[in-house]
């Protein structure tokens, strides 16, 4: 079954600290859910939207001059004259052997989180299921592999893990292109572009449970590029490699 939830049903309820709030910032196709200190929502929502519009504008202008950037499924030549957001995507695409747009959600999430971390040391930016987190406290991030059943597993992140990206690829959830059959591939990296691009290339390899060893082998090969760990679920089986501390979520009775 393919899930196309326009209401962002993959977004589970967020448990947040008393001094935190959760809000959305939407600019065209970019729909960000942000968890941050309350002061940021009160003073920074318009600034976040303005910044998001600016980086989207840089990317759209670059695509006008380089249309292959938006359609290529393979890496493109690096361009030192590209704007920072496009350069980050080109670098990640080359490292992971995918097209540059495979890295867009993770790149945008990190750009926004990094820009406003000075105003909110705790800031979690989720963009289409891809997350970049700055945090001063432990976080538990749910792994939603099967929406009908809900999330049963999660990743536990200690304060020393941050900042960090968690980006996913799925053949059954969302609208992203995948040539595999994975319910979920989640990649952990300090670099949002790398996490997103790596999730795509690993998801493409996850065609069945028999391919789990191949996926984990490729994840290890991507460690020099910045991949810290991977979780993959396909064909009723799970594979995990790297710095990934799993936690079991309590189910409602």
Per-residue pLDDT at 3: 30
Specify the CATH number for the domain of residue 92.
3.10.520.10
| pLDDT of 176 strictly over 70 | no
* Residue-range definition of the domain harbouring residue 234: 20-248
In a domain, 119, yes or no: yes
* 91, part of any domain: yes
63-92 confidence digits (pLDDT tens) = 999 999 999 999 999 999 999 999 999 999
How is 10-62 classified by DSSP, letter by letter? T-------TTEEEEEEEETTEEEEEEEEHHHHHHHHHHHHHHHHHHHHHHHHH
Residue 127 has pLDDT above 90, yes or no: yes
pLDDT surpasses 60 at 10: no
> Is there a contact between 176 and 170 (Cβ–Cβ < 8 Å)?
yes
Instruction: Answer whether residue 47 shows pLDDT above 80.
Output: yes
The candidate with the shortest Cα–Cα distance to 133, out of 193, 60, 141, is 141
Residue 24, both tokens: 């959305």
The residue that leads in pLDDT, 235 or 10, is: 235
Residue at 1 is within a domain: no
Has residue 36 been placed in a domain?
A: yes
The domain tally of the chain equals: 1
Average confidence (pLDDT) over 236-245: 93
pLDDT on residue 14: 62
- 184 neighbors 170 (Cβ within 8 angstroms): yes
- Average pLDDT over every residue of 210-231: 96
- pLDDT-based confidence at residue 60 (cuts at 50, 70, 90): very high
What confidence score (pLDDT) does residue 7 get? 45
Dihedral of alpha carbons 176, 131, 5, 145, sign: positive
Q: Report yes or no on 133 lying in a domain.
A: yes
Whole-number percent of the chain with pLDDT over 70: 85
8 is a domain residue: no
Answer yes or no: is 201 within a domain.
yes
Q: How sure is the predictor about 171, in pLDDT bands with cuts at 50, 70 and 90?
A: low
Q: Does residue 5 form part of some domain? A: no
**Whether residue 167 has pLDDT greater than 60:** yes
- The pLDDT-based confidence of 153 (bands split at 50, 70, 90) is confident
Collect all residues with Cβ–Cβ distance below 8 Å to 50 and sequence separation of at least 6. none
* pLDDT of residue 13 exceeding 70: no
Mean pLDDT of 170-185: 65
Q: What is the pLDDT of residue 251?
A: 60
Asked whether the whole model's pTM tops 0.75, one would answer yes
Mean pLDDT confidence for 2-12: 43
Q: Is the pLDDT of residue 25 over 80?
A: yes
Average pLDDT over the chain, rounded to whole? Answer: 88
Nearest to 20 by CA among 3, 35, 6, 9: 35
CA 227, chain centre distance (Å): 13
pLDDT surpasses 90 at 207: no
């Amino acid at each position: 079954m393919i899930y196309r939830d326009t209401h962002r049903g993959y977004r589970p309820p967020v448990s947040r600290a008393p001094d935190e709030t959760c809000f959305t910032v939407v600019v065209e196709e970019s729909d960000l859910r942000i968890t941050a200190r309350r002061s940021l929502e009160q003073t920074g929502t318009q600034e976040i939207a303005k910044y998001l519009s600016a980086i989207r504008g840089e990317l759209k202008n670059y695509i006008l001059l380089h249309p292959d950037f938006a359609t290529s499924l393979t890496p493109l030549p690096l361009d030192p004259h590209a704007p920072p957001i496009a350069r980050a995507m080109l670098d990640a695409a080359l490292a992971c052997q995918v097209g540059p747009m495979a890295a867009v959600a993770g790149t945008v999430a990190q750009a926004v989180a990094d820009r406003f971390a000075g105003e909110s040391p705790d800031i979690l930016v989720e963009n289409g299921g891809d997350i970049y987190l700055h945090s001063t406290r432990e976080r538990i991030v749910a792994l939603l592999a099967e929406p009908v059943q809900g999330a049963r597993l999660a990743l536990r992140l200690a304060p020393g893990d941050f900042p960090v990206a968690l980006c996913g690829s799925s053949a059954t959830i969302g609208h992203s292109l995948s040539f595999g059959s994975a319910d979920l591939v989640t990649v952990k990296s300090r670099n949002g572009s790398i996490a997103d691009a790596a999730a795509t290339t690993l998801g493409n390899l996850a065609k069945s449970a028999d391919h789990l060893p191949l996926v984990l082998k490729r994840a290890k090969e991507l460690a020099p590029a910045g991949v810290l760990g991977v979780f993959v679920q396909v064909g009723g089986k799970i594979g995990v490699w790297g710095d990934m501390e799993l936690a079991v979520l309590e189910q409602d009775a």
